[in-house]
Amino acid sequence: MPCPYYKYGMCNSPKLDQPTDEFVNPVRCNGGPEIYVTCAMYIPPEESRNLNTLEKNDQGTSKNTGNITEPRDNRGIYPLINFLPMPIHSECQYYRLEKRSSGIIVARCEILKRYLTKYEAKLCEHYWRDCPFRQ
Protein backbone atom coordinates (compact mmCIF):
# COMPACT_ATOMS: atom_id res chain seq x y z
CA MET A 1 0.00 0.00 0.00
CA PRO A 2 1.49 3.42 -0.95
CA CYS A 3 1.94 6.34 1.41
CA PRO A 4 -1.39 8.04 2.17
CA TYR A 5 0.13 11.42 1.26
CA TYR A 6 1.44 10.32 -2.17
CA LYS A 7 -1.04 11.31 -4.89
CA TYR A 8 -0.55 11.96 -8.59
CA GLY A 9 3.24 11.95 -8.26
CA MET A 10 3.19 14.66 -5.59
CA CYS A 11 3.67 14.64 -1.82
CA ASN A 12 0.57 16.04 -0.12
CA SER A 13 1.87 15.73 3.43
CA PRO A 14 0.19 18.00 5.99
CA LYS A 15 3.72 19.16 6.87
CA LEU A 16 3.90 20.97 3.53
CA ASP A 17 2.28 24.29 2.70
CA GLN A 18 1.42 23.00 -0.76
CA PRO A 19 1.86 19.74 -2.69
CA THR A 20 5.34 19.22 -4.12
CA ASP A 21 7.37 16.56 -5.89
CA GLU A 22 10.58 17.65 -4.15
CA PHE A 23 10.48 14.88 -1.56
CA VAL A 24 9.01 12.19 -3.81
CA ASN A 25 10.91 8.94 -4.07
CA PRO A 26 8.68 6.43 -5.94
CA VAL A 27 10.33 3.43 -4.27
CA ARG A 28 9.68 4.86 -0.81
CA CYS A 29 6.29 6.43 -1.57
CA ASN A 30 4.90 3.29 -3.24
CA GLY A 31 6.42 0.96 -0.65
CA GLY A 32 4.68 -0.42 2.35
CA PRO A 33 4.27 1.36 5.69
CA GLU A 34 7.60 -0.01 6.91
CA ILE A 35 9.28 2.01 4.11
CA TYR A 36 7.30 5.24 3.78
CA VAL A 37 7.27 5.96 7.53
CA THR A 38 11.02 6.73 7.20
CA CYS A 39 10.23 9.81 5.07
CA ALA A 40 10.77 13.18 6.76
CA MET A 41 7.41 14.39 5.41
CA TYR A 42 5.42 11.49 6.86
CA ILE A 43 3.49 11.91 10.06
CA PRO A 44 0.97 9.45 11.46
CA PRO A 45 -2.63 10.36 10.56
CA GLU A 46 -3.56 11.02 14.20
CA GLU A 47 -0.77 13.61 14.46
CA SER A 48 -1.77 15.27 11.19
CA ARG A 49 -5.13 16.17 12.72
CA ASN A 50 -3.29 18.01 15.52
CA LEU A 51 -1.17 20.03 13.06
CA ASN A 52 -4.06 22.37 12.32
CA THR A 53 -4.50 23.23 15.99
CA LEU A 54 -0.92 24.35 16.61
CA GLU A 55 -0.52 28.05 17.26
CA LYS A 56 2.03 29.79 15.09
CA ASN A 57 4.25 32.60 16.29
CA ASP A 58 4.20 35.45 13.79
CA GLN A 59 6.94 37.45 15.46
CA GLY A 60 10.27 37.16 13.63
CA THR A 61 12.61 38.11 16.45
CA SER A 62 15.90 36.79 15.11
CA LYS A 63 18.35 39.29 13.75
CA ASN A 64 21.76 38.09 12.65
CA THR A 65 22.18 35.55 15.44
CA GLY A 66 21.47 32.56 13.23
CA ASN A 67 18.33 31.67 15.19
CA ILE A 68 15.54 30.08 13.25
CA THR A 69 12.17 31.74 13.84
CA GLU A 70 8.61 30.75 13.12
CA PRO A 71 7.14 31.98 9.82
CA ARG A 72 5.18 35.17 9.27
CA ASP A 73 2.94 33.87 6.49
CA ASN A 74 2.65 31.06 3.97
CA ARG A 75 2.65 33.15 0.81
CA GLY A 76 5.56 33.30 -1.59
CA ILE A 77 7.29 30.06 -0.63
CA TYR A 78 8.05 27.50 -3.30
CA PRO A 79 9.85 24.46 -1.85
CA LEU A 80 11.88 23.75 -4.97
CA ILE A 81 13.19 27.32 -5.04
CA ASN A 82 13.25 28.47 -1.41
CA PHE A 83 13.81 25.31 0.66
CA LEU A 84 17.26 25.23 2.29
CA PRO A 85 18.47 21.66 2.92
CA MET A 86 20.53 23.02 5.81
CA PRO A 87 20.55 26.47 7.44
CA ILE A 88 22.62 29.10 5.64
CA HIS A 89 23.67 31.84 8.04
CA SER A 90 24.49 35.44 7.22
CA GLU A 91 25.82 38.32 9.30
CA CYS A 92 23.37 40.72 7.64
CA GLN A 93 20.96 42.22 10.18
CA TYR A 94 18.11 42.03 7.64
CA TYR A 95 18.54 38.30 6.94
CA ARG A 96 16.19 35.88 8.72
CA LEU A 97 15.88 32.10 8.79
CA GLU A 98 12.42 30.69 9.33
CA LYS A 99 11.44 27.13 10.09
CA ARG A 100 8.09 26.25 8.55
CA SER A 101 5.59 23.99 10.29
CA SER A 102 6.53 21.36 7.70
CA GLY A 103 10.09 21.35 9.02
CA ILE A 104 11.66 23.05 6.02
CA ILE A 105 13.88 26.08 6.47
CA VAL A 106 13.70 29.21 4.31
CA ALA A 107 15.61 32.50 4.28
CA ARG A 108 13.93 35.91 4.25
CA CYS A 109 15.22 39.40 3.49
CA GLU A 110 13.52 42.10 5.56
CA ILE A 111 14.58 44.86 3.16
CA LEU A 112 13.11 43.11 0.12
CA LYS A 113 10.18 41.85 2.22
CA ARG A 114 10.29 38.45 0.55
CA TYR A 115 11.73 34.96 0.81
CA LEU A 116 15.09 34.34 -0.80
CA THR A 117 16.00 31.63 -3.27
CA LYS A 118 18.71 29.13 -2.36
CA TYR A 119 21.11 31.03 -4.61
CA GLU A 120 20.29 34.38 -3.00
CA ALA A 121 20.73 32.92 0.50
CA LYS A 122 24.23 31.74 -0.46
CA LEU A 123 25.04 35.21 -1.78
CA CYS A 124 23.90 36.71 1.54
CA GLU A 125 26.12 34.27 3.39
CA HIS A 126 29.29 35.27 1.55
CA TYR A 127 28.71 38.81 0.21
CA TRP A 128 26.39 40.46 2.73
CA ARG A 129 28.71 43.47 3.14
CA ASP A 130 28.45 44.26 -0.59
CA CYS A 131 24.65 43.99 -0.79
CA PRO A 132 23.23 47.01 -2.66
CA PHE A 133 19.96 46.85 -0.69
CA ARG A 134 21.72 47.45 2.65
CA GLN A 135 23.02 50.89 1.58
Same domain assignment for residues 73 and 112: yes
- Could you tell me if residue 43 is inside a domain? yes
Question: Rounded distance, CA 70 to CA 52, Å?
Answer: 15
- Could you tell me if residue 93 is inside a domain? yes
- Could you tell me if residue 85 is inside a domain? yes
Q: Which residue range is the domain that position 99 belongs to? A: 68-130
- Could you tell me if residue 63 is inside a domain? no
pLDDT tens digits, one per residue of 5-24: 888 788 888 888 778 888 78
Residue 124 has pLDDT above 90, yes or no: yes
- Could you tell me if residue 30 is inside a domain? yes
Whether the model pTM is above 0.75: no
- Could you tell me if residue 135 is inside a domain? no
- 112: Cβ–Cβ under 8 A, 6 or more apart, which residues? 133
Domain count, the chain: 2
Same domain assignment for residues 43 and 95: no
pLDDT tens digits, one per residue of 96-115: 999 877 778 899 999 998 89
- Contact criterion met (CB below 8 Å) for 119 and 80: no
Same domain assignment for residues 73 and 45: no
Same domain assignment for residues 80 and 124: yes
Q: Which helix (H) or strand (E) holds 95?
A: strand 95-99
Same domain assignment for residues 17 and 45: yes
> Any idea what DSSP says for residue 37?
T
Mean pLDDT of the chain: 78
Question: Rounded distance, CA 29 to CA 19, Å?
Answer: 14
